[in-house]
Every structure is written in structure tokens, then in C-alpha cells.
Amino acid sequence: MSDNEHLEQEEIFSQVLRAGRRTYFFDVRATKAEDYYLTVTESKKFTHDDGSFHYKKHKIYLYKEDFQEFNEMLKAATDYILEEKGEEVISERHQKDFKRSSEEVEVTSTENFTDVKFEDI
């Protein structure tokens, strides 16, 4: 099998959503049995102090048997967020004039915190 045929087999359908520093890829791929599944990849660009950059990627694999329940849960979660908070983006990162109210800011001592790494779990 040539490289081009292999690539065609891997990506059957693809869509890209660019969202600021993040890019989301929705790719339909084929299993060895020629059935289809979906990969959703989040790619986020990070810039180093010297101007160079790298990307961190996170990927999930979603198979047909999970589509319906996944869609239902995604819709329920997104509907909840929109009902509770509306469509306006409210965040320090997205709004230069964003200010937290003094009542919302809680100062917490860090003396009781311990650094935990995923490798430790």
C-alpha cells in the first residue's frame, strides 16, 4: 500500500475548527475491519520566551456504539451551560476589561497544599 493510499484510509472525512490558540480537528477514520470511528483532537499552541513554539495535543476516540449517548450528554452539558450563563463569554482571558468583584476573590493560604504530579497517582 502506498503512503497516499494509507493516508486516504486513515482520514476519510475531516473538519477543522480554529478557536484562538486552540484548533480542534474532527477526523473520521477507519478501523482495520473498515468500520468508521471519530477522533477529536485539541491542538494548543504554546510560545516559548525565545519566540519558538510547540503544540500540545489531546485526542479522544469515539466509536459508533457511543455516539448516541455521547451526543446526548454533550447536548445536556452545553444546554446547561448556555441556560445558566448565556452565550456571552465571561473570562479574564477573553475580556481585557474583565474584573472580579472583591466578594468573589478569596485569598487562600498555600501552606497546606502539596504538589501532586500525575505520575504520583
Residue 10 belongs to what domain range? Answer: 3-87
pLDDT greater than 70 at residue 56: yes
Percent of the chain with pLDDT over 70: 67
Distance (Å, whole) CA 106 – CA 58: 32
Count how many domains the chain has. Answer: 1
CATH of the domain at 79: 3.10.450.700
| Alpha-carbon torsion angle 9, 10, 13, 19, nearest 10 | -160
pLDDT at 114: 53
pTM of the model: 0.62
pLDDT tens-digit series, residues 5-50: 444 446 899 999 999 889 999 999 999 999 999 999 999 988 889 9
And the C-alpha cell for 35?
A: 468500520
